[in-house]
């Protein structure tokens, strides 16, 4: 080991050409690492969980996507290769959000294993659509270290999306197996297909959980901006975001569901993470943001969904105000094609900007 380290050091000091001369950089064997929940179990349970996970989800070299036994293995291998090149340094080999670059990042790269995603087109608590994950990968998450990968070839984008799903499902199954071992003391092989089906059913359900505006989007005029600002102050948005929407409140929010510190967004910073289409903002307000303190306001506006558009108008009027040097401007926005009717498809928000 020290010999290898020594030669690596020599490579660093002497430059890349000596890498080949030194000739002793061994191929790193990558493998999925078990969760903390699993490593706390007995060695026998750890072994049986590993066996089930390998059977259903494969290995780093031969990954499998849960519930898609007929998927071309080369498609997922391509996804794994893209992931290794572009994602792993942040999201980790296992998708636990713990890559070597993650340590000092705020917010942390997503730990996919919980099967929970923030920027979805679905209601609070629901799984995302596959398109939601693909859209996030294409446009990145503004204001965080998550880059945009819009320039990758379309097949690479499709493949890495399926690989993210493979890691996600693997993590979800691992957690269910871990719970079963904690609860029953062992893994009952006969129970595994039911666990797998349970996971897949939740993902299928996302289709019926899509949030489409319940009121058509109006032209977002000054009057809507003003009504939105009044609501912002009267229904408690300001308790977390501050009166000016700058996220400056003294009370700390509880950690997010991944165990990391969570801060209310500075809505004036020009960086809406979930996208800047009015439909994106509508969905954030109606459906909240999974895993964070940002609540869903659906029930509050059950019978007056048009008021959500007032809040959207206000958010749209201030979100870029710091970059523009004006706080808060009132602007008049034209309705987007496809959104005006309230009938738009979820893909409509994926403009990839
Ligand atoms: C430089 C670090 C970095 C790299 C590289 C990176 N990500 Fe991320 N990613 C992040 C961070 C940070 C977040 C969390 C942002 C947040 O919580 O708002 C994230 C979040 C995500 C999410 C979750 C979105 C949601 O709605 O919850 C997905 C999916 C994702 N990344 C996929 C990828 C894929 C695929 C790649 C490679 C093609 C990749 N990321 C590369 C840092 C990175
Ligand atoms: C209990 C605290 C809390 C309340 C109340 C709250 N928010 Fe939030 N909000 C948050 C947090 C936390 C985030 C950041 C989530 C993240 O991305 O990690 C956020 C994010 C946002 C964002 C940014 C979305 C994006 O795409 O980045 C908007 C816009 C927003 N909130 C609007 C509102 C509006 C409008 C209300 C009132 C109707 C409201 N919030 C009420 C906590 C709150």
pLDDT per residue as tens digits for the range 233-242: 999 999 999 9
Q: What CATH number is attached to the domain comprising 306?
A: 1.10.760.10
CA distances (Å), 39 to each of 49, 98, 262, 340, in order? 10, 16, 27, 52
Tokens found for residue 129:
């659509």
Sorting pLDDT into bands at 50, 70 and 90, what band is 251? confident
Nearest residue (CA) to ligand 1, atom 19? 109
Which of 156, 187, 209 corresponds to the end of one domain? 209
Report whether residue 170 contacts ligand 1, using a CB cutoff of 6 Å.
no
| Residue 188 and residue 319 share a domain | no
Q: Tell me whether residue 214 is in a domain.
A: no
Tokens 């007032």 correspond to what residue?
310
| Residue 117 and residue 229 share a domain | no
Report whether residue 258 contacts ligand 1, using a CB cutoff of 6 Å.
no
Q: In this predicted model, what pLDDT tens digit does every residue of 133-149 receive, in sequence order?
A: 999 999 999 999 999 99
Q: In 185-305, which residue ranges form alpha helices assigned H by DSSP?
A: 192-205, 222-234, 237-241, 278-287
Model confidence at 7: pLDDT above 50: no
Cβ–Cβ < 8 Å for 137, 109? no
Sorting pLDDT into bands at 50, 70 and 90, what band is 55? very high
Quickly list DSSP for 238-261: HHHH-TTSS---SSPPPP-TTSS-
**Span 171-181, mean pLDDT?**
98
Report pTM.
0.87
Which residue range is the domain that position 229 belongs to? Answer: 222-349
| Residue 94 and residue 58 share a domain | yes
| Run of H or E residues at 57 | helix 43-57
Closest-lying ligand 2 atom to the alpha carbon of residue 119? 26
Alpha carbon 216 to its chain centroid, in Å, reads 28
Model confidence at 246: pLDDT above 80: yes
Which residues form ligand 2's pocket by a CB distance below 6 Å?
A: 118, 232, 235-237, 239-241, 253, 262, 264-265, 267, 272-274, 281, 284-285, 289, 292-295, 297, 311, 315
Q: How far apart are alpha carbons 90 and 108 in whole angstroms? A: 9
Q: What is the pLDDT of residue 71?
A: 94
Which of 209, 242, 257 corresponds to the end of one domain? 209
| Residue 15 and residue 67 share a domain | no
Q: How remote is the CA of residue 262 from the centroid of ligand 1, in Å?
A: 16
Tokens found for residue 101:
């670059």
Q: Tell me whether residue 79 is in a domain.
A: yes
Model confidence at 353: pLDDT above 80: no
| Residue 166 and residue 65 share a domain | yes
Query: In terms of C-beta distances under 8 Å and separation of at least 24 residues, what long-range contacts does 93-98 make, across chains too?
Result: 93/30, 93/31, 93/32, 93/33, 93/60, 94/32, 94/33, 94/167, 94/170, 94/171, 95/164, 95/167, 95/168, 95/170, 95/171, 96/33, 96/35, 96/171, 97/258
**Structural Rg of the chain based on CA atoms:** 23
Q: How many domains does the chain have?
A: 3
| Residue 119 and residue 203 share a domain | yes
Sorting pLDDT into bands at 50, 70 and 90, what band is 339? very low
- The proportion of the chain whose per-residue pLDDT surpasses 90, expressed as a percent, equals 76
| Residue 277 and residue 196 share a domain | no
| Residue 204 and residue 73 share a domain | yes
Q: What is the pLDDT of residue 2?
A: 42
Round the average pLDDT of the chain to a whole number and report it: 87
Q: What is the pLDDT of residue 169?
A: 98
| Residue 289 and residue 143 share a domain | no
Q: In this predicted model, what pLDDT tens digit does every residue of 255-266 receive, in sequence order?
A: 999 999 889 999
Helix then strand count (H, E) for the chain reads 14, 0
Residue of 281, 296, 291, 283 lying closest to 235 (CA atoms): 296
Q: What is the pLDDT of residue 25?
A: 60
Model confidence at 351: pLDDT above 50: no
Q: How far apart are alpha carbons 327 and 155 in whole angstroms? A: 43
Residue 122, classed as helix, strand or coil, is strand
Residue 143, classed as helix, strand or coil, is coil
* Preceding amide of 348 cis, omega within 30: no
Q: What is the pLDDT of residue 8?
A: 45
Q: In this predicted model, what pLDDT tens digit does every residue of 109-142 receive, in sequence order?
A: 999 999 999 999 999 999 999 999 999 999 999 9
Which of 171, 187, 209 corresponds to the end of one domain? 209
Q: How remote is the CA of residue 331 from the centroid of ligand 1, in Å?
A: 32
Sorting pLDDT into bands at 50, 70 and 90, what band is 26? low
**Span 80-105, mean pLDDT?**
96
Q: What is the pLDDT of residue 211?
A: 97
Q: Tell me whether residue 45 is in a domain.
A: yes
Q: What is the pLDDT of residue 344?
A: 40
What do you get for the CA distance between the two ends of the chain, in Å?
A: 47
Tokens found for residue 260:
């990391």
Q: In this predicted model, what pLDDT tens digit does every residue of 195-225 receive, in sequence order?
A: 999 999 999 999 999 999 999 999 999 999 9
Q: Tell me whether residue 106 is in a domain.
A: yes
Tokens 């558009």 correspond to what residue?
309
| Residue 256 and residue 320 share a domain | yes
CB atoms within 10 A of CB 125: 12
Give the torsion sign (CA, 6, 10, 16, 20): negative
| Residue 164 and residue 75 share a domain | yes
Residue 348 is given by DSSP the state G
Q: Tell me whether residue 338 is in a domain.
A: yes
Q: Tell me whether residue 217 is in a domain.
A: no
| Residue 260 and residue 159 share a domain | no
Q: Which of 240, 242, 311 has most ligand 2 atoms within 8 Å of its beta carbon, as the pocket-test mutant? A: 240
Q: Which of 100, 102, 125, 141 has most ligand 1 atoms within 8 Å of its beta carbon, as the pocket-test mutant? A: 141
Q: Tell me whether residue 157 is in a domain.
A: yes
Q: Tell me whether residue 90 is in a domain.
A: yes
* Preceding amide of 183 cis, omega within 30: no
Q: What is the pLDDT of residue 320?
A: 82
Q: How remote is the CA of residue 179 from the centroid of ligand 2, in Å?
A: 32
Model confidence at 348: pLDDT above 50: no
Residue of 163, 177, 142 lying closest to 91 (CA atoms): 163
């Amino acid at each position: 080991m020290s010999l290898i380290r020594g030669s690596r050091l020599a490579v660093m000091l002497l430059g890349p050409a000596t890498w080949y001369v030194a000739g002793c950089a061994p191929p790193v064997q990558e493998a999925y690492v078990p969760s903390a929940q699993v490593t706390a179990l007995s060695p026998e349970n750890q072994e049986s969980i590993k066996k089930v996970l390998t059977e259903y989800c494969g290995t780093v070299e031969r990954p499998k996507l849960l519930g898609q036994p007929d998927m071309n293995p080369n498609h997922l291998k391509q996804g794994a290769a893209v992931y290794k090149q572009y994602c792993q340094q942040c999201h980790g080999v296992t998708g636990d959000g713990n890559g070597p670059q993650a340590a000092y990042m705020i917010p942390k790269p997503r730990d996919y294993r919980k099967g929970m995603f923030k920027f979805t087109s679905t209601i609070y608590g629901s799984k995302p659509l596959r398109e939601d994950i693909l859209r996030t990968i294409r446009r990145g998450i503004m204001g965080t270290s998550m880059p945009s990968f819009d320039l990758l070839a379309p097949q690479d984008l499709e493949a890495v999306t399926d690989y993210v799903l493979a890691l996600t499902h693997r993590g979800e199954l691992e957690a269910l197996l871990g719970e079963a071992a904690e609860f029953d003391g062992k893994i009952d092989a006969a129970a595994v297909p039911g666990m797998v089906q349970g996971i897949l059913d939740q993902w299928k359900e996302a289709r019926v959980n899509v949030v489409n505006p319940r009121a058509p989007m109006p032209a977002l005029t000054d009057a809507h901006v003003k009504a939105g600002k009044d609501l912002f102050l009267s229904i408690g948005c300001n308790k977390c975001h501050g009166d000016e929407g700058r996220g400056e409140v003294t009370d700390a929010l509880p950690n997010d569901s991944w165990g990391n510190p969570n801060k209310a967004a500075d809505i004036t910073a020009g960086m809406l993470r979930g996208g800047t289409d009015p439909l994106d903002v509508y969905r954030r307000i109606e459906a909240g943001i999974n895993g964070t303190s940002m609540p869903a306001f659906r029930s509050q506006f059950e019978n007056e969904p048009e008021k959500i558009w007032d809040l959207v108008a206000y958010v749209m009027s201030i979100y870029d105000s710091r970059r523009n040097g004006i706080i808060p401007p009132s602007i008049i926005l034209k309705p987007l094609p496809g959104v005006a009717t309230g009938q738009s498809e979820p893909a409509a928000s994926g403009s990839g900007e």
